[in-house]
Structure formats: structure tokens, C-alpha cells
């Protein structure tokens, strides 16, 4: 078990990537502190982990609230005595033309995606400093940290901010054995992907469009992201800090969408 005995806080565990990370960490021997705004789904994930022989507790948490974040980490320490790791996965997506982006929408995205990351990092690092044993933090961003798409200004700003925050913390706490890294998934089969399909006039045309923009010609899986998360948070990556690991099937490396025709040799 690669995470045996480690106490790891994971936010946004109600579904998708966060759910899979929490379940995978528990299978690897971690004591998981799962956080989600939705009690029903979040508690259900923990119940399944415990039923399968794993160790986990659930704390209903709005990561944009300092009070909620304090309660989350207080519960972690009260239950398990320490904090060894953190995965900041909670976040909200946003797609809207910039001229329709209100200050309220901007605040909602930045408060959850960036302020929430800051609040959780702060408490995690304070707990890690108390034990003096170091720790590992993963901030889940997006391949939007490499390139952008139109209509995602608050989301892109928040995710780029997460990279800056992580790099700064990574170098500040490197000498105290606290590692901070970014995990940036591309298009993954989660509720967001289902929403994209449902918003398109045609599922088939939408799927063809996105496949043409992903060199591997498929959408990624939550399992592929959680596998990377295990490596990043474990003792297998001791020299890794301030890094941004992009897992997107080559999407952000492709300059343009492939030609829909066969060109002659040039």
C-alpha cells in the first residue's frame, strides 16, 4: 500500500475526479478525510469506502468559507491526529461570454477555485508544520493552465492563479519537506463532460469535434487522474515540487486541429 497510514484531506469528493481519488487513496491505505458541499453524495462515498474496509470520514464543507475549512481540518486532526496530505479538487466550471460575466459570477468562481485552494493550503501547511514531518499537497487545476478557450475567463484566471500559488508555496516550503504541486487534467469523463455533450446540438458532432482536438482521440478517465495523484502525493515523488503535471491526451501540445483532408507532400 503506497499511502499506508497517511492522513489525507480530499475536497470535492462528491463525484468525478474527487470521488475516484478518495476511493483510490483509501485502497492504497490512506485515512481519507473527504469534503464536499453536498452531504448526500459525499457521505455516500465515505460509506462505500468504509464498507470496503477502508478508513474515511466525511465533513460537509464549502471551501470558500474559512469557517468551514477550519472545521474540516479540525475534524481531520480530532479523528486522526495529524494531516499528511491534501488534494484541493473542489471547484466550479464556468462557460459564458465575457460581456455577460457579472461580478457575482466572477466572485463565485474565484472564491471556490482559488480562495478555497488558498484556505485549504494554509490550514494543511500549518498542521504539517506542527508535526514537523512534512507533507504533500496537490492542487487540481486544468490544462487551461497551458492554453485557454473562449468564454472561460474567471475559470482560466482561477486555474492560472492556482499554479502561481502552488509554485510560490512549493519553493517557500521546500526546505521544510512540504511539497506543493499542480495536477492539470484535460477533458475527463465526468459530469462536466456530460454537460458539454448535453449542451451541444448533436452528441455525435460534439464528440467528433473534441476527438479531433485530442491527439489520443478520446476523453480521459477519472482512474487515469487518480493514478497520477497517488504518485504525486506519495513518497515516490520526493524531488517533485512546484510542478504542473498536465494529463490531457496531448491536447495542449497540439498547435491546431488536424486538417480534415489529406495534403500532398510539401
Active-site residue flag, 261: no
- Residues 216, 249: contact at Cβ < 8 Å? yes
Q: Is 264 exposed, middle or buried (0-12, 13-18, 19+ CB in 10 A)?
A: exposed
Count of C-beta atoms within a 10 Å radius of residue 98:
10
The SS3 assignment for 77 reads helix
Q: Is 151 exposed, middle or buried (0-12, 13-18, 19+ CB in 10 A)?
A: middle
Distance CA 45, CA 41 (A): 6
Q: Which of 80, 118, 155, 261 is catalytic?
A: 155
Residue 261 sits at the vertex; the CA angle it makes with 259 and 262, to the nearest 5 degrees, is 105
Active site (catalytic) residues: 155
Amino acid at each position: 500500500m503506497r499511502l499506508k497510514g497517511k492522513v489525507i484531506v480530499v475536497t470535492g469528493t462528491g463525484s468525478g475526479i474527487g470521488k475516484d481519488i478518495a476511493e483510490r487513496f483509501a485502497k492504497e491505505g490512506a485515512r481519507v478525510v473527504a469534503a464536499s458541499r453536498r452531504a448526500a453524495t459525499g457521505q455516500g462515498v465515505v460509506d462505500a469506502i468504509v464498507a470496503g474496509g477502508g478508513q474515511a470520514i466525511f465533513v460537509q464543507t464549502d471551501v470558500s468559507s474559512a469557517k468551514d475549512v477550519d472545521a474540516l481540518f479540525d475534524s481531520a486532526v480530532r479523528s486522526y491526529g495529524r494531516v499528511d496530505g491534501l488534494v484541493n479538487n473542489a471547484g466550479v466550471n464556468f462557460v459564458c461570454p465575457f460581456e455577460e460575466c457579472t461580478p457575482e459570477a466572477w466572485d463565485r468562481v474565484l472564491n471556490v477555485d482559488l480562495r478555497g485552494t488558498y484556505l485549504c493550503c494554509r490550514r494543511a501547511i500549518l498542521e504539517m508544520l506542527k508535526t514537523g514531518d512534512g507533507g504533500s499537497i496537490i492542487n487540481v487545476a486544468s490544462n487551461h493552465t497551458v492554453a485557454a478557450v473562449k468564454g472561460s475567463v474567471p475559470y482560466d484566471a482561477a486555474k492560472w492563479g492556482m499554479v502561481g500559488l502552488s509554485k510560490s508555496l512549493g519553493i517557500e516550503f521546500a526546505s521544510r519537506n512540504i511539497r506543493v504541486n499542480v495536477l492539470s487534467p484535460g477533458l475527463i469523463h465526468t459530469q462536466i463532460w456530460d454537460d458539454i455533450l448535453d449542451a451541444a446540438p448533436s452528441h455525435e458532432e460534439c464528440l467528433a469535434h473534441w476527438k479531433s482536438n485530442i491527439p489520443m482521440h478520446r476523453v480521459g478517465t477519472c482512474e487515469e487522474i487518480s493514478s497520477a495523484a497517488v504518485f504525486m502525493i506519495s513518497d515516490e515523488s520526493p524531488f517533485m515540487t512546484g510542478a504542473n503535471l498536465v494529463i490531457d491526451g496531448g491536447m495542449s501540445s497540439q498547435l491546431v486541429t488536424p486538417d480534415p483532408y489529406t495534403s500532398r507532400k510539401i
